[in-house]
Chains A and B, each alone.
Chain A
Amino acid sequence: MPTLFRKIWERHVVVERPDGICLLYIDRHLIHEVTSPQAFEALRQAGRKVRRPLSLLAVPDHNVPTSADRLERIEDPESRIQIETLRKNARAAGITLFDIEDVRQGIVHVTGPENGLILPGITAVCGDSHTATLGAFGAIAFGIGTSEVEHVLATQTLWQKKPREMRMTVSGESGFCVAAKDLILAIIAKIGAAGASGCAIEYAGEAVRRMSMEERMTVCNMTIEAGGRVGMVAPDDTTFAYLEGRPAAPGGTQWTAAVADWRSLPSDPDVAFEREESLDASRVVPQVTWGTSPEDGLPVTGSVPDPAEESDPRKRERMERSLRYMDLAPGTRLTGIPIDKVFIGSCTNSRIEDLRLAAKVARGRKVAPGITAMVVPGSGLVKRQAEREGLDRIFLEAGFQWRLPGCSMCLGMNPDRLKPGERCASTSNRNFEGRQGPGGRTHLMSPMMAAAAAVTGRIADVREVVG
């Protein structure tokens, strides 16, 4: 009685070695400008070809500026070279490219799914750890390094050891203003930053069943922050409704055959997982991270923890270090911590539903004086949709910046970054030291919470702001 993961895995085994390591066939390969140039270079040096160009999609996202003038010029010569290199490599190999003037350009994990490239039952890889996002469709999707990118380009396969399988059952109904982001932050806080190392997680349970595709992507996206390379959700009618009619999704009689196939994928009812974990969604309140690891999520109603109360000396030391970096004193209430910047975007939270939720909070309010708040749609298509719905007007009238799509301030490799010492309410996925810029301080939260921080100038409980 196999699991969803096992069914897909077994379908993709090309060769199994005596030591159990499998050569897995890779159906879809997404590439961006940062982790692919060295792979193409190695391919050229070895005199090898891209084996199946049409299985690929190339999108520049990490270092594209999000300012309106980016089509005229990209200031940073190194960024320009990386983007140009992606362009050249894609053209030379016959790979589809969503270039920066293309309305489909955006963050790779946003634009791939919204164009129907990610389907249930497939294997998908990208030289990016947040590839787990794509598992929301009931796919085995995982991040790889550049050597593996090269391997997939040349062979359409990867040698992989089967990970352990964990089921994360999320029961109950989320409360007022509790988003998918809050659930995944609570999950990471519960199992830890290495809690899912070596595991593929299947997110299950009634709360996951009720989630939209956007919400499922948010949850799967942060699997890597718990150390898991693969996060997935069984495909169902929500998945099929999302996919139907998307450009790269199958059409006509193939659609019918595909859906019939996909219905056979979910884990069999009585299947046993190697590890079971659970979360009661009804007990989760909006979350905020206080420290420099994504496992540092706390209810917004809480306070900065006190290292003195930690008995493990190593953990105590890490807490002290985090507090120094974050410039926070133990016992400080989370609500009320003043912030400098707000970032709504990233592959975790830049899809249309995220923007709708943030706009609900922003509507009729003003960004607090002295706060810079930016909204960065995940793709040109998300941006266009948001503009059709008037969300851009809501944000602009409230004093938010409305920017062009890209990874933006998630990772400090394009012009959008924090200055040393600046504190940011961010919907991104990592609060590591320096992640959003050297010396920058990151508090992870949901889009609604980030919008609430923008209009109050402090970390705030969104339930009180809108309630």
Chain B
Amino acid sequence: MIEPFVSLRAVAIPLDRNNVDTDAVIPARFLKTVKRTGLGAGLFHAWRFDADGNEVPDFPLNRDPYRGGQILVAGENFGCGSSREHAVWALMDFGIRAVIAPSFSDIFAANGQKNGLLPVCLAPGEVRELIRHLSERPGERVSVDLPAQTVTGPDGALYRFEIGSFEKECLLNGLDETALTLRHEADIARYERDGKKNRPWLFPDL
């Protein structure tokens, strides 16, 4: 269920930490839902709230200039750990539509792309520059342009990013990947017929 992503100009929130894991993004106790909605309440719960449930004032997501921000700028290996897609749902439910980082865990990046949360990889120095700028002047806006594959910093600096052509197409048009794959049904059925001949132990049910 992908939300199309074309371009975005929004307040960007700096989260200057490496290895932000998906347990930090959304702790496991919030995963006891059979829905995709409402997970924003648990986003970064241990960092946003103290033990009494009060907001931690200096955590970036709680600081006024960053409130309503739709872009997160973080350190390397963002989204490492658990494969929980709830991390992406929580970010999106909170209003985040793009995460900019030097690198992402493979599973998190795939989950993001399949939902319309754009993972943007920039060089480590570029991300540091963005984080420095956003920390010094909170509330500034950053632009992400998917067709052009560029990020524009608050100072007008232009950064280019890479994305697979298929993922880009799906994101731009909100394409349902499963529907696209089902067009290959004949190929899949042929694969199974051949597979049963060559390695029958793998297809006892076919």
Contact = CB atoms under 8 A, between A and B. Distances in A.
A129 B32 contact: no
Contacts of A121: 199
A460 interface: no
Contacts of A42: 1
Contacts of B19: 193-194, 293, 318
B166 A147 contact: no
A156 interface: yes
A91 to B, nearest CB: 16
Interface in A62-87: 62-63, 76, 78-79, 81-82, 85
A15 B202 contact: no
B76 to A, nearest CB: 6
B131 to A, nearest CB: 11
A227 B77 contact: yes
B32 A79 contact: yes
A181 B48 CA distance: 34
B51 A129 contact: no
A23 B184 contact: yes
B57 interface: no
A127 interface: yes
B46 A434 contact: yes
Contacts of B115: 147
Interface string B4-25: 0000000000000111010110
A156 B195 CA distance: 13
A148 interface: yes
A413 B31 contact: yes
Contacts of A430: 21, 23, 81-82
A70 B68 CA distance: 43
A146 interface: yes
B54 interface: no
A432 B21 contact: yes
Contacts of A82: 32-34
Contacts of B182: 48, 154-155
B81 A128 contact: no
> In the complex, which of the residues B45, B164, B199 has the most CB atoms of chain A within 10 Å of its own CB atom?
B199
B83 A413 contact: no
A194 B28 CA distance: 22
A17 B205 contact: no
A63 B83 CA distance: 16
Range of interface residues on B (Cβ < 8 Å): 35 or more
Range of interface residues on A (Cβ < 8 Å): 35 or more
B187 interface: yes
Nearest to B30: A413
B107 A143 contact: yes
Nearest to B32: A78
Nearest to A86: B34
Contact of B82 (A38, A129, A163): A129
Nearest to B179: A46
Contact of A194 (B77, B82, B195): B77
A314 interface: yes
Given A145-B110, A155-B188, A433-B23, A35 B85 contact: yes
B114 interface: yes
A424 to B, nearest CB: 15
A246 interface: no
B114 A257 contact: no
> In the complex, which of the residues A19, A122, A128, A151 has the most CB atoms of chain B within 10 Å of its own CB atom?
A151
A41 B34 contact: yes
B105 A159 contact: no
A37 B201 CA distance: 29
Interface of A: 14-15, 17, 19, 21, 23, 25, 27, 34-35, 37-38, 41-42, 46, 48, 52-55, 62-63, 76, 78-79, 81-82, 85, 119, 121-122, 127-129, 143-148, 150-151, 154-157, 159, 161, 163, 193-194, 197-198, 224, 227, 229, 250, 254-255, 257-258, 261, 293, 314, 318, 321, 411-413, 420, 430, 432-435, 438-439
27 contacts: A15-B184, A23-B181, A34-B84, A35-B83, A46-B178, A79-B32, A82-B34, A129-B83, A129-B107, A144-B107, A145-B84, A145-B111, A147-B114, A148-B111, A155-B184, A155-B188, A156-B188, A159-B177, A194-B105, A198-B106, A314-B18, A318-B18, A412-B27, A413-B31, A435-B23, A438-B45, A439-B51
Given A23-B187, A82-B32, A227-B77, 12 more contacts: A25-B192, A34-B32, A79-B32, A145-B88, A145-B111, A146-B85, A146-B111, A156-B192, A197-B106, A434-B46, A435-B28, A438-B46
